[in-house]
Amino acid sequence: MADFVSGFWNWYIIVLVVLSILFCWWLVITQSKKGQMSGEVKPTGHVWDENIQEMNNPLPRWWLMMFYITLAFGSIYLALYPGLGTFQGLLGWSETGQYDREMQKAEEAYGPIFNKFANQDLAAVAANPEAQKIGKRLFSTYCTQCHGSDARGARGYPNLTDNDWLYGGEPETIKTTIMEGRNGMMPAWGEIIGNEGVFNVAAYVQSLSGRDVDPVVAAKGKEIFATTCAACHGADAKGTQAMGAPNLTDKIWLHGGSDKRIKETITKGRQSHMPAHGEFLGEAKVHLLAAYVYSLSHQKKE
Ligand code: HEC
Ligand code: HEC
């Protein structure tokens, strides 16, 4: 627990704190002795402007009580809770212990609700309004920072509400994506095919989604595509879900579809990381999330 390398600082803190508290006790007690409290008020001997005297008035009782209460509170607190160096306190309380207990309580309260759906078919869970509500809440907590609160994503973060999938939109595939995470790896081609190669193949890629490009340039790009890109994106450029290689013939772009962005993607490559959530959230929650994500692109069916 302690970050100290040597025990010295531990004792330094303990001794300093204990001595300060004892000193405060002593000070308050000696300054509030009966004699001083009840006796007649004596001058301190300090005089200003010839006749203004400083008197040694006792502290008001309520004020004194405040000192005692604060000191008692501090002493008891330090005995029960961590505060004196690395001393853990008599209660053995710790932040992590409290966190663990709260998590366990939450698990007991909500676990059965999550587990109720864990054995149901994903498509059935996706159609269940109660599961939808839970899934939506889980999504807001764990996924919106990347995929957006409406799940429509952003540049580099896929839209989950359309029916275009990098890795596949079957309920089980979505669940695998969330459980295990994904790493999309588009290699950098700039140095291999050169500027001209990038220029040509970028034109070809754009022709695939129906853009007007120079047909001669695109034809040259097509040759490069067949030898260099088809292995991952497929001969028809419709993508390979096993690798997360996107379909290049549609108008949906993960990394931006402008001429500049496409050339940049091809030259420098792209790497995307979807974190694994299985261990972090547990399968029951991922099950609900997968059903929720699935429902986002299948809502219109009913
Ligand atoms: C740190 C950012 C981040 C977080 C958090 C995150 N994702 Fe992702 N997610 C990504 C990225 C980036 C990709 C694209 C991966 C790739 O291109 O290989 C992705 C891909 C996906 C895919 C695959 C989409 C497809 O087209 O096949 C699904 C499904 C998904 N995420 C769901 C979720 C869910 C559900 C959560 C919340 C539990 C979540 N993500 C949290 C960044 C994130
Ligand atoms: C090793 C497999 C592989 C090869 C070879 C490959 N790509 Fe990719 N490419 C990918 C992957 C995977 C992605 C998605 C990256 C991500 O998830 O961020 C991608 C993304 C892209 C994108 C971005 C698509 C979008 O929606 O924004 C373009 C454009 C692209 N590749 C073009 C090419 C071209 C042109 C070539 C050949 C010069 C090529 N790729 C070769 C795997 C590959």
Could you read off the pLDDT of 38-52 as tens digits, one per residue? 567 778 888 888 888
> Which residues have a Cβ under 8 Å from the Cβ of 290 and sit 6 or more positions away?
122, 171, 172, 174, 175, 178
For the chain, give the percent of residues with pLDDT over 70. Answer: 95
Report yes or no: 263 and 270 within 8 Å, Cβ to Cβ. Answer: no
CA 263 to chain CA mean position, Å: 33
Model pLDDT, residue 226: 97
Rounded CA-CA distance 237/230 in Å is 7
What's the confidence (pLDDT) of residue 36? 54
Ligand 2 center–CA 186 separation, angstroms: 4
The amino acid present at 301, given as its one-letter code, is K
- Nearest-CA residue for ligand 2 atom 22 is 265
Please report which ligand is nearest the Cα atom of 148: 1
- What residue owns the CA closest to ligand 2's atom 7? 186
pLDDT over threshold 80, residue 32: no
Angle at 120 between CA 116 and CA 123, to 5 degrees: 130
C-alpha angle 109-114-116 in degrees, rounded to nearest 5: 105
Alpha carbon distance 150, 171 (integer Å): 19
What's the rounded Cα separation, in Å, for the pair 147 and 140?
10
Is any atom of ligand 2 closer than 6 Å to the C-beta of 186? yes
The residue-averaged pLDDT of 246-268 equals 96
Higher pLDDT, 107 or 183: 183
